[in-house]
Structure 1
Amino acid sequence: MKEKDSIHVFAPATSANFICGYDILGLALEEPGDEVKLTRVNTPGVVIKKITGDEGLLPTDSKKNTVGACIEMVLRHLNREDLGIEIELNKKMPIGSGLGSSAASTIAGLFAINQLLGEPLTRQELLPFALKGEELACGYGHADNVAPSLLGGITLIKSYHPLEVINLPTPKELCCSIIFPHVEVPTRAARQILRTQIELKNAVHQWGNIAGLISGLFLEDYGLISRSLEDKLIEPIRSILIPEFDQMKEIAKELGALGFGISGSGPSVVAFTKGLDKAKEITEALQLHLKHKQIGSNGYSSRINTHGAIVIK
């Protein structure tokens, strides 16, 4: 593929953990997401020209911003530091939402520079750079957000040393209802409250759920998927940070959700459904419930995004 003078890309939001798969499962959403525009300029170096949609929260220093830092890493890796690159980042999703906001920005930047340079790297080869971007953003280089945002679909992180990411089947009718309550749950704080030791019986139960969920994906068995969407390890602790969590779970289940849980580290919650109409129904009901409790929210209803980051024509 030929090199380009400019490129405009989109990278999707993600929902990590898939309820029972803490730090090893993640999936891409159709909305929301982030957009990045890159333009070649004559002066060498990487410069962030503009950031929109972040309410002034993100650094414009390219070395401190995940988009700029990752682009610089790729240019060093390819011995192309002589290039001049201007970045425009359009945040089209909430920050600190549990929907992989930093991951979407990171992936948009990495995918954009790779496309601009004529795709010298495969998507899999971009993943290690994405992990470094996540480390810069939240202090921990995990792949359960960046992998699905880049690759699309549902991903399993089998190992980190070496990094091995597997794309799992996506049942055609599997959809999500996503609610982002307007409360703050920092990722680092959500990790710090977790137990470092767990009971063996709970671990065995969780392993069974993960195995059942993955089997359900391969078999396209929505009943098995539903019976496997249970988290005995993380949800009981983290859910206390999310107002109305138990009530929202009860509403979603009563309306026919396959499963309900925390998206990433929260505060977003996710209900999995069979069909988009059911997802929309649950999204509307949960937002209405939060409104009655004087809690603002963003709501999304989405199929599983199977293509990941894309070029915007």
Structure 2
Amino acid sequence: MKSIKVFCPGSVANISCGFDILGLCLDNIGDEIIVTQTKKKGIELDVCGEYIVTKDINKNAASVSALALLKSFKHIDFGFHITVNKKIKPGSGIGSSAASSAGSVFAINELLKRPFTNKELIPFAAEGEYACTNSYHADNITAVLLGGITLVRSNKEFDVVKLKTPLQLFVTIIHPQIEIKTSDSRIIVQRKIEISKLTEQASNLGAFISALYNEDYEMISRCIKDIIVEPYRSEIIPEFNNLKKIALESGSIGFGISGSGPSMFSLSKGPKIANDVKINLEKHLQKKNIKYKSYVSIVNDRGIKII
């Protein structure tokens, strides 16, 4: 019986200046998925772990993406059993559905001796994302499948680029223990954008990419701005403005909403500052009696992996 176990990392989408465009892969936060080849055709699904998600194979991100992958093969006379050990809270803003979506197709592809590259798996994983969020966006799944920091040129063609990651770039994640559904958070985002704001956001995105390649941390700090989405989404995240102020005063070079929230991310140069930011943010949340989880992570350049 063929079986494989994979670690499916969490991720940060948008990175403030790249709404639905940029993704960043985390290292020590993620789900685990076990996929076993079965004699019975089709997909079977089990779910366990800290968080409860649907076991409906037509609604669960892992099974939906797996079914999409199987449809690409004309003749397969066997199936797969998927067990999702859910360690990323749904609605957390750190890529819960993306981890499941990418994990199942990656594992099945490995068992089939890699007929697809990880990049070619993106359209299949995107089906799992759509099942959970009702939109096709590949920022999280590209980061998980390719690792590092990724840019999605088109969510229709899934044309993606893996960017350079500065070696001393560290990420602090603060996750208030509330849930914000991606589909709900998209409703509050304005559909019409002023040209001047669009220009400023595009300038920040372009300069951010340049700063990554030049390892220019000062430029990165000037680019981590979101004048389009953050003003609206921040209103539903407890203490966001105060936490942002504390992070920046603690040495963070950039602070923003991770994906749809409520998780927030901070970028720092080096692990010491990243940990200082974490400690100071924790102190504030404790004073406000807000339950949270927190992490410090490198940027995971490898992405999803067999364990």
Task: Note closer, same or farther for the CA distance 1:8–1:17 as it changes in structure 2 (3 Å cut).
Answer: same
Residue 126 of structure 1, aligned match among 101, 121, 139 = 121
Residue 239 of structure 1 is matched in structure 2 by 234
Letter paired with 1:238: R
Task: Note closer, same or farther for the CA distance 1:168–1:45 as it changes in structure 2 (3 Å cut).
Answer: same
**Deviation for aligned residue 1:207:** 1.3
Residue 105 of structure 2 is matched in structure 1 by 110
Query: 1:298-313 alignment to 2 at 5 Å?
Result: 298-312=293-307
Letter paired with 2:12: S
Task: Note closer, same or farther for the CA distance 1:100–1:50 as it changes in structure 2 (3 Å cut).
Answer: closer
Mapped contact 2:3–2:35 kept (Cα < 8 A): yes
**Deviation for aligned residue 1:237:** 1.1
Residue 182 of structure 2 is matched in structure 1 by 187
Three-state SS of the structure 2 residue aligned to 1:48 is strand
Residue 98 of structure 1 is matched in structure 2 by 93
Letter paired with 1:94: K
Q: 1:114-173, CA deviations, whole angstroms, 9 ceiling, x for partnerless residues?
A: 001111111111011111111111101100111001100100111234321000100000
Q: Distance in 2 between matches of 1:49 and 1:26?
A: 28
**Deviation for aligned residue 1:81:** 4.1
* 1:26 lines up with 2:52 in the alignment: no
Residue 45 of structure 2 is matched in structure 1 by 48
Residue 171 of structure 1 is matched in structure 2 by 166
Q: Distance in 1 between matches of 2:280 and 2:170?
A: 16
Task: Note closer, same or farther for the CA distance 1:266–1:65 as it changes in structure 2 (3 Å cut).
Answer: same
Q: Distance in 1 between matches of 2:186 and 2:46?
A: 33
**Deviation for aligned residue 1:63:** 2.4
Question: Which segments of 5 or more consecutive residues in structure 2 lack a partner in the other structure?
Answer: none
- Structure 1 length-normalised TM: 0.95
Letter paired with 1:132: E
Letter paired with 2:15: F
Mapped contact 1:45–1:81 kept (Cα < 8 A): no
Three-state SS of the structure 2 residue aligned to 1:82 is coil
Letter paired with 1:41: T
Three-state SS of the structure 2 residue aligned to 1:213 is helix
Letter paired with 1:21: G
* 1:85 lines up with 2:80 in the alignment: yes
Residue 285 of structure 1 is matched in structure 2 by 280
Residue 136 of structure 1, aligned match among 122, 131, 138 = 131
Three-state SS of the structure 2 residue aligned to 1:140 is coil
Letter paired with 2:179: E
Residue 35 of structure 2 is matched in structure 1 by 38
Q: Distance in 2 between matches of 1:303 and 1:153?
A: 9
Question: Which segments of 5 or more consecutive residues in structure 1 lack a partner in the other structure?
Answer: none
Residue 16 of structure 1 is matched in structure 2 by 13
Letter paired with 1:99: I
Three-state SS of the structure 2 residue aligned to 1:279 is helix
Query: 1:201-280 alignment to 2 at 5 Å?
Result: 201-280=196-275
Q: Distance in 1 between matches of 2:255 and 2:47?
A: 37
Q: Distance in 2 between matches of 1:309 and 1:183?
A: 26
Residue 58 of structure 2 is matched in structure 1 by 63
Mapped contact 2:258–2:264 kept (Cα < 8 A): yes
Mapped contact 2:61–2:97 kept (Cα < 8 A): yes
**Deviation for aligned residue 1:278:** 1.3
Letter paired with 2:167: K
Letter paired with 1:141: Y
Q: Distance in 1 between matches of 2:82 and 2:193?
A: 45
**What is the aligned-residue RMSD (CA, Å)?**
1.3
Count matched residues: 307
Three-state SS of the structure 2 residue aligned to 1:103 is helix
Mapped contact 2:58–2:64 kept (Cα < 8 A): yes
Runs of 4+ that moved beyond 6 A: none
